[in-house]
Structure 1
Amino acid sequence: MLKRLFSWLRKRAVLAFLGVMLLAIVFWFEAPLLAFDGKEPFTGSDVRWFFIGLMFAAWAGWFGGQALKARLAERRLMASLAAENAPPPAAVAGTAALQEQAALRERMAQALAVLKKSAAGKGRWGGQYLYQLPWYLFVGAPGSGKTTTLLHSGLRFPLAEAMGPGAIGGVGGTRQCDWWFTDEAVLLDTAGRYTTQDSDAQADGAGWSGFLALLKKHRPRSPVNGIIVALSVPDLLQQGPAARQAQAAAIRARIKELHEKLGSRFPVYVTVTKCDLLAGFTEFFDTLGREERAQVWGMTFPVAGAEGAALAEFPARFLALEQGLQARVLARMQEERDLQRRALLYRFPQQFAGLGDVLGGFLDAVFAPTRYEPAAQLRGVYFTSGTQEGSPIDRVMGALAATFGLDRKVLPPNATSGRSYFITDLLRKLMFREAGLAGIDGAFEKRRRRLRWLGAGLAAALFVLLVAGLATSYVRNGRTVKEVEQRTGALEKLVQAAPVTGSVLGVLPMLDVARALPGGGDGREAGMPLLERFGLNQRDKLGAGATLAYQRLLRSALLPRVMARLEQVLRRGDANSQEQLYETLRIYLMLGQPAHLDPESVQAWLAFDWQRSLPEASAEQRDRLAAHVAALLDAGGGAAEPPPLDAALVAQVRSTLALMPLPERVYHRLKRTVAQARLPEFSVNRAVGRDVSAILARRSGEPLTRGIPGVFSVAGYRALLKGAPDALVDIARDSWVLDRREAEGAGAPGAEAMHAAVLQLYYADYIRAWDAMLADVRMAPFSSLDQGARITNALAGADSPLKSFLVAAAKETTLAGTGGTTAVALDAVVRRKISTARAKLEAALGADAPPPPVADTGTPVDEHFAPLHKLVGTPAAPGPLDAQLALLKDASQYFDAADKARRAGTPAPAGDALQLVKRAAEGSPAPLGGILQNVDSAGAGLTLGSERARLQALWAAEAAPFCRDAIAGRYPLVRGAARDATPDDFGRFFGPGGTMDDFFGKHLAAQVDMSGPQWQWRSTGSAPVGIGQEVLNQFQRAARLREMFFGAGGRQPSLRFELAPQGGDAALAKVTLDIDGQPVVYTPGAPARPVPVTLPSGKGGGVVHLDAVPALHAALRTEGPWAWFRMLDRAVVQPGAQGERYTVTFDLDGRRMGYLLTASSVINPFRRDALEQFRCPSAW
């Protein structure tokens, strides 16, 4: 249920709906705060409901449109599958082709008739539309076991339930194309003759072409997600070499047609079917259970491998499978009692081994790359068995019989068991989960890109029209803006020159200028010209801005000085001058609490104060100050954020004017009483019982012998509760200083509340002191892996100081059950201690009998430190602390191993231990969380530092000298360099398996994220790889040079491109550009045909020269392995709109000659950026 719920919540429409809902909530509460030019358009609920409705309408329109689009695509697909196809072209039109397509339509109509009645016919199939499911195509010769494999795959075929087994297909070969609709994918079992096209080439070819066109039409982006090639064991073992070669050529041709007609690349899975016909197969795997028979048996090749890498890996992978069988032979023979079955078991690995050479040759014939045809993506080779039918093939005994002239023994046919081997997981857990490996049609994406560009162009045109319409308004308002800018500039200078502190006279000139801004404090100008109102009217905005700037200056410059003056008077206030102190406090609180603001009182107090404190100010200056104060109080006093008040100062003045609050007085008296008992401080060393400064430390720098005052301990808590009755009696003794309301507050109804208030003050200080202490404790810093191993080992040891400290801290922060009395019981004690001499107070307290004591159920301290208590646990229920310390033990072992690897010069071990420490730190309370985080960050940094030094030493020893001698400073990496990098050196350094490629693959590839356009270092633990990004950039450039110069896979650099004359100066009668013996001739009026050029060609001895008629004064001639690049240096090379095209222009004695250079790939060296930016990595 939860899985289905989470799956539903992950849908894009649901997530978008939640996002729209969140946006609507934010809009509902925050939109009323928005104001535009003094107007608040969103205050009304109807307006907000309208915009919220637009949000949900946009959501519904977008996802409804997407759903409608998907539904229409589904209907078109199903209608097209059932509709009649157009007649075949004249070249292939005939009765056989028409019958073929009619058979396909009839078969599809039967399936769709059932689908329309099911969930798929209603628009959904297994949670997805039919065209959204992955589609896989079976390819193989007739009788190769394609249909049998599907019948025994273990997949769910809803059509079989509705139409019966006959509607899906029998065990024999399929004559027409079968469509297998499952809950997870659509499998297309093509007729075997489609692959071989040997029954009727014309009809088979037409049916195959129509089939591919159908796929391309309704799944244009990714027609199929993979190809499954079925090869049967009899075909491989019993066919002659010529027949196998013909079948391989047919399969290769079908795959090539799929690539060309579908326009995308996709993985190819080769399944060797009918493996049960290998003698001994059934006996060898007879003991496998259902789940074991469902697993995958075969080999899967890397997706990103080099071209042809899968074929190169096949022999080793096949040998590994054979060795796996050999390893199980002895155990299986011991399990088998029948001697004949034992003999078959013993020979089965040899039977399987005999399949290797034949299968390898077949794969080479199908998947081997050529110069003119890229190889298909061979994803894997797998061995399966659908049914155990037919007589097994015993190649071993057959070979022996042929050698010694014996009669060949024919093995009896297998008994049909109804069991399949190695099929279910192959389809469900391997192929279907790799549906995303198939590429996307580039032409389709190009069309979509063009449409997007067209839309952007239309939007840009509309934008230009709008800008033109606003130009007039902009120009007219520009003059007004400049006028305001001039005055604002003068104001900015005054603001910068204004003193930060001081009297209000220092900011008076600045406030006067701000008040005089156009449209500001002195009033708005009238008579707005019509052309300035058109579109971009700025006068109202500038006036509002001037007013806002003036108000901000009032609040940022005038108000803080007024508040500072009030605070100064309050601090100097005399307790004997209660009235003046009261009035000053009243004005101070008014400014901080606008609800009580009385502007006249504020202005009166300031005017009175300025007469005394500003004797140097003139009457005119004081009047201007009064006007600014009036503007401050009128415009911003009640609406803007009030200035912060000095709470301590207010409390001090109130304590002078009245009485200190009773709970605070009791609390301070109790703290002084407990402090007199001289309870010991709680420190780290005291909790551990020894000096642990080599293992633990404090961030504040305080010694481990200093800690928390004893008042904030369990003993201090008990002492405070014990002394509370006497403190309350002492406070009651001084009740004659309270008015009647305060005296009643100390009576029976208020005594409990006062006691609770006292405890709340104590709990807050208790929590604050322990939070600071726990956050201050940290692990002692370490600067080496060896030291880190010793410290972490000590922290995780049997006598761990960290554990001792945490256990003691948990004990001292557990106050529940240690108090002994509660507030109500304490009230009874107070009652008993009050003497009869205080009869008046006794009457105020009340004479009712006290209620019974209440059990202690916990304190805020216990609640606050509950995570620490849970971590430590109790003797009866230990917490996870020991498990956390075990992680520190693992980290210590990791540091030790990393240190040994550093000394041995080998790679550092995997940092899994630090990853676990990092995850544990996230949920651990202080100080354990901080210590775990320190272990992770410091350890990862030291490990990476030693690994970086090791790699730098390896580079300096293995590659740096050759790079410095053979590559650095040489052409073509340095334009104009006199020395050339030889092709052999260039290939040895940059080529496949060369110096850069080999070093990167062995030492750096695992630490690099190559998924983006810019390679990035991965992180280890909490620290990134310590090697500079520039070093990685050089390896990425080397990889790009390898793609540019070694696309053919050779050891020396090579290039292929086409060069076509584009025309020259009219004075040129003929121009010949000879590139290493490959002439490109230009004659005016002759058609310009591109000439293919291959370098090196082996024809011209590495010489490039350009000759012209009439002859040139100075010949253009270059020599050497990089002669063509040196010739390009003497021309003007301009890249075209397409990445593979360049315009090359030569200056021939003032006459221009142009060529169009078309590289064989967009990845080419003619831009020279990768070449000229490459530098030998040095600063690691």
Structure 2
Amino acid sequence: LENEASRDFPTPLELARSSGPAFSTVFTRLDSYGEPLAEDVPSAEDPLSIPALLTREGLEKWFLRESGSVTELALIDAWVLGRRDDVDFSKADEAELLASLQTLYAEHYAEAWRTALSRLDIHRFEDLNHGVRILDSLTSGHQPLARLLAQVRENTRLIPVGEGEAEAARKLLEQSPHYRMLQDIERQFSDLNQLTRKQGEEPSGLEEVMLVVGELHEYMRNIQESPDTGKAALSAARARMGLQGADPIFTLQRMAGHQPEPLNRILNRLATESWRVVLDSAVAQLERDWYREVYQPFQQNLARHYPFTQGAGRDAALQDFERFFAPDGILETFYNDNLKLFLEDHPEHVGDARRASLVRRDVVAALDRARQIRQAFFTRSGTLDVEFALEPLNLSNNKRRSVVNIDGQLVEFSHGPSQSIPLVWPNTLRDTVESRVTLVPIQVNRSPRSISESGPWALFRLLGKADITGVSSNAVDVKFTVDDGEMRYRLHAASNTNPFTEQLLSGYRIPRSLY
């Protein structure tokens, strides 16, 4: 039957071509693994190509007419092959074989259309502009989706509906041995075909869907046509995640859940792709803002100076350090205003756009380390203030006295009892401050010897010359060697994040890009 039909009906129904000129702009074909196929796929390999025998025309003009003779031939074949003892075929024999043939044909028919619909999807949006072009075509007068569903309806709604001639034809068909086969085919596509059915003045299901698609189109086009597309996309993304204003993306996703295949998948794809390119545009804007507002200030004022670059001759100004890292400073303000919504408040929306992460891992690491820097160096009110205590432990026997001067705060020790002295850093914001360790020899005719550092980060430079041993999470032992003598102190940090044990600043970098 297939061989004879292919001779009389050699031309398959190509759904893509017959769905209008906008179809290929909107839809792509998928292979059996769900991957997009090339646009110029040969007709024989086109999953949207339906064999003519498995169309309404093939059904009515060929199968219904020829199935009887094919049944007779099949019965004769069965006798020739020895599967029957005689060539006398009863009506029951013919009816049984015809029923088997109808079942097989209905399975092939429905499978051909189901497969074609399953191998169809919306093109991946390359960017916001491409997405708008796809939505332009989808909502245009060419109506590719409506034309596609009209073809499905034409070829899978096979029993006449209505009054008058349609009713008479249906009653006649009910007497046909093919009626049950037609019902079997129809039933598998009834939900999809219901979409294009109108009742009175009420819009059809497809028309209601296209109203929401039109709202999405307008939403996307408003972003595209904004004087600054990136800022408009960022504003739209913030509004969507903050549940502010209309959200046609969510409306379409919710509507998709109530639609039959393949429309539910197509609508979900439209919503997901739209959100992805809006989010991509928003992140691209964030990238530009990050570079200008965060990366450049850090590079210009901090990155090349001590303590961020250990060997640097120049210290980072404390005012620049405070301006950048303080609570409500440059970095935290940018995070709270721009990134927190995506990374902390609504990370599920990033997942909805099928992005593994909004930002790179090294950005997340830099943000986490910046939080530690704030905890270690700043009070809750935002003041640069490191409280700690210095406890003298022991002085070598060849020295009789030690003096530590930290930004003008003195800690003196001679052999004997000691106490922990509370100190603060910085004690002044002047750039000319000094930190010094002085050991006084036991010989009265020898001068004291010192090691010192000057500048706003003098204390940390001085600690860099010491041997430091961790004692606990908030305490370290610090040993200075001066003029063949040694002095050991215990340094207690008031903060849980110890700026003296954690290498928080050395080598700290702000990544140039977010993603």
TM-score, length-normalised on structure 2? Answer: 0.79
1:755 aligns with 2:103: no
Alignment of 1:811-830 (within 5 A): 811-815=154-158, 826=177
Q: Deviations over 1:779-821 (max 9, x none)?
A: 3555342342232133134652211211321331234569999
| Matched-pair contact (CA < 8 Å) for 1:790–1:892 | no
The correspondence for 2:372, drawn from 1040, 1043, 1048, is 1040
Alignment of 1:229-268 (within 5 A): none
Q: Deviations over 1:20-79 (max 9, x none)?
A: xxxxxxxxxxxxxxxxxxxxxxxxxxxxxxxxxxxxxxxxxxxxxxxxxxxxxxxxxxxx
| Matched-pair contact (CA < 8 Å) for 1:766–1:861 | yes
The correspondence for 2:52, drawn from 710, 720, 733, is 710
Q: Secondary structure at the match of 1:1061?
A: strand
The correspondence for 1:1156, drawn from 483, 490, 493, is 490
Alignment of 1:101-500 (within 5 A): none
Alpha-carbon distance between aligned partners in 1 of 2:94 and 2:83, rounded to the nearest angstrom: 15
Larger radius of gyration: 1
Alpha-carbon distance between aligned partners in 1 of 2:486 and 2:132, rounded to the nearest angstrom: 73
Q: Deviations over 1:311-345 (max 9, x none)?
A: xxxxxxxxxxxxxxxxxxxxxxxxxxxxxxxxxxx
Q: Structure 1, unaligned stretches of length 5 or more?
A: 1-669, 827-853
| Matched-pair contact (CA < 8 Å) for 1:972–1:981 | yes
Alpha-carbon distance between aligned partners in 1 of 2:22 and 2:336, rounded to the nearest angstrom: 50
Amino acid at match of 1:792: L
Are residues 983 and 793 of structure 1, via their aligned partners in 2, closer, same or farther at CA, if it must alter by over 3 Å?
same
1:962 aligns with 2:273: no
The correspondence for 1:975, drawn from 291, 310, 313, is 310
Across the two proteins, how many residue pairs are aligned to each other? 477
What is the aligned partner in structure 1 of residue 402 from structure 2?
1071
Q: Deviations over 1:585-641 (max 9, x none)?
A: xxxxxxxxxxxxxxxxxxxxxxxxxxxxxxxxxxxxxxxxxxxxxxxxxxxxxxxxx
Alpha-carbon distance between aligned partners in 1 of 2:429 and 2:371, rounded to the nearest angstrom: 30
The correspondence for 1:887, drawn from 187, 207, 212, is 212
Shift of 1:901: 4.0
| Matched-pair contact (CA < 8 Å) for 1:816–1:856 | no
The correspondence for 1:1103, drawn from 434, 441, 450, is 434
Are residues 702 and 747 of structure 1, via their aligned partners in 2, closer, same or farther at CA, if it must alter by over 3 Å?
farther
Alpha-carbon distance between aligned partners in 2 of 1:1007 and 1:1103, rounded to the nearest angstrom: 44
What is the aligned partner in structure 1 of residue 6 from structure 2?
675
Are residues 765 and 782 of structure 1, via their aligned partners in 2, closer, same or farther at CA, if it must alter by over 3 Å?
same
Are residues 1003 and 732 of structure 1, via their aligned partners in 2, closer, same or farther at CA, if it must alter by over 3 Å?
closer
What is the aligned partner in structure 2 of residue 441 from structure 1?
none
What is the aligned partner in structure 1 of residue 38 from structure 2?
701
Alignment of 1:534-573 (within 5 A): none
1:1084 aligns with 2:415: yes
Alpha-carbon distance between aligned partners in 1 of 2:85 and 2:102, rounded to the nearest angstrom: 20
Alignment of 1:597-612 (within 5 A): none
1:1055 aligns with 2:395: no
Alignment of 1:824-843 (within 5 A): 826=177
What is the aligned partner in structure 2 of residue 152 from structure 1?
none
Are residues 983 and 685 of structure 1, via their aligned partners in 2, closer, same or farther at CA, if it must alter by over 3 Å?
closer
1:900 aligns with 2:237: no
What is the aligned partner in structure 1 of residue 164 from structure 2?
none
Q: Deviations over 1:961-992 (max 9, x none)?
A: 43222111211222232110111111122223
| Matched-pair contact (CA < 8 Å) for 2:403–2:438 | yes
1:1005 aligns with 2:343: no
Q: Deviations over 1:458-494 (max 9, x none)?
A: xxxxxxxxxxxxxxxxxxxxxxxxxxxxxxxxxxxxx
1:991 aligns with 2:321: no
1:950 aligns with 2:285: yes
Alpha-carbon distance between aligned partners in 2 of 1:1125 and 1:822, rounded to the nearest angstrom: 95
What is the aligned partner in structure 2 of residue 395 from structure 1?
none
Q: Secondary structure at the match of 1:1006?
A: helix
Identity of aligned residues (%): 24
| Matched-pair contact (CA < 8 Å) for 1:1060–1:1157 | yes
Shift of 1:1083: 3.2
1:869 aligns with 2:211: no
Q: Secondary structure at the match of 2:369?
A: helix
What is the aligned partner in structure 2 of residue 212 from structure 1?
none
| Matched-pair contact (CA < 8 Å) for 2:79–2:87 | no
Amino acid at match of 1:713: T
Are residues 1148 and 784 of structure 1, via their aligned partners in 2, closer, same or farther at CA, if it must alter by over 3 Å?
same
1:932 aligns with 2:267: yes
Alpha-carbon distance between aligned partners in 1 of 2:313 and 2:274, rounded to the nearest angstrom: 49
Q: Secondary structure at the match of 1:1057?
A: strand
What is the aligned partner in structure 2 of residue 1129 from structure 1?
464
Are residues 808 and 878 of structure 1, via their aligned partners in 2, closer, same or farther at CA, if it must alter by over 3 Å?
farther
Amino acid at match of 1:812: N
| Matched-pair contact (CA < 8 Å) for 1:1072–1:1106 | yes
Q: Deviations over 1:534-570 (max 9, x none)?
A: xxxxxxxxxxxxxxxxxxxxxxxxxxxxxxxxxxxxx
Are residues 785 and 1018 of structure 1, via their aligned partners in 2, closer, same or farther at CA, if it must alter by over 3 Å?
closer
| Matched-pair contact (CA < 8 Å) for 1:918–1:1021 | no
Amino acid at match of 1:1061: P
Alpha-carbon distance between aligned partners in 2 of 1:901 and 1:1020, rounded to the nearest angstrom: 26
What is the aligned partner in structure 2 of residue 401 from structure 1?
none
What is the aligned partner in structure 2 of residue 546 from structure 1?
none
Alignment of 1:1-150 (within 5 A): none
| Matched-pair contact (CA < 8 Å) for 1:936–1:1022 | no
Alpha-carbon distance between aligned partners in 2 of 1:1146 and 1:880, rounded to the nearest angstrom: 82
Q: Secondary structure at the match of 1:1161?
A: coil
Alpha-carbon distance between aligned partners in 1 of 2:399 and 2:139, rounded to the nearest angstrom: 87
Alpha-carbon distance between aligned partners in 2 of 1:722 and 1:1108, rounded to the nearest angstrom: 114
Are residues 1151 and 937 of structure 1, via their aligned partners in 2, closer, same or farther at CA, if it must alter by over 3 Å?
farther
| Matched-pair contact (CA < 8 Å) for 1:692–1:801 | yes
Q: Deviations over 1:357-396 (max 9, x none)?
A: xxxxxxxxxxxxxxxxxxxxxxxxxxxxxxxxxxxxxxxx
Shift of 1:1098: 4.5
Q: Structure 2, unaligned stretches of length 5 or more?
A: 31-36, 161-168, 241-246
| Matched-pair contact (CA < 8 Å) for 2:252–2:268 | yes
What is the aligned partner in structure 1 of residue 72 from structure 2?
729
| Matched-pair contact (CA < 8 Å) for 2:387–2:425 | yes
Alpha-carbon distance between aligned partners in 1 of 2:68 and 2:181, rounded to the nearest angstrom: 21
Larger relative strand fraction: 2
1:941 aligns with 2:266: no
Alpha-carbon distance between aligned partners in 1 of 2:159 and 2:429, rounded to the nearest angstrom: 97
Are residues 816 and 1110 of structure 1, via their aligned partners in 2, closer, same or farther at CA, if it must alter by over 3 Å?
farther
Alpha-carbon distance between aligned partners in 1 of 2:205 and 2:429, rounded to the nearest angstrom: 78
Are residues 918 and 1078 of structure 1, via their aligned partners in 2, closer, same or farther at CA, if it must alter by over 3 Å?
same
| Matched-pair contact (CA < 8 Å) for 1:822–1:856 | no
Q: Deviations over 1:1105-1164 (max 9, x none)?
A: 112242799622122111111111112333334x32223233345655332222111023
Q: Secondary structure at the match of 2:13?
A: coil
Amino acid at match of 1:1090: S
Are residues 960 and 730 of structure 1, via their aligned partners in 2, closer, same or farther at CA, if it must alter by over 3 Å?
closer
Q: Secondary structure at the match of 2:277?
A: helix
Amino acid at match of 2:372: R
Once superposed, what is the RMSD of the aligned Cα atoms?
3.7
What is the aligned partner in structure 2 of residue 287 from structure 1?
none
Are residues 942 and 1118 of structure 1, via their aligned partners in 2, closer, same or farther at CA, if it must alter by over 3 Å?
same
Larger relative helix fraction: 1
What is the aligned partner in structure 2 of residue 661 from structure 1?
none
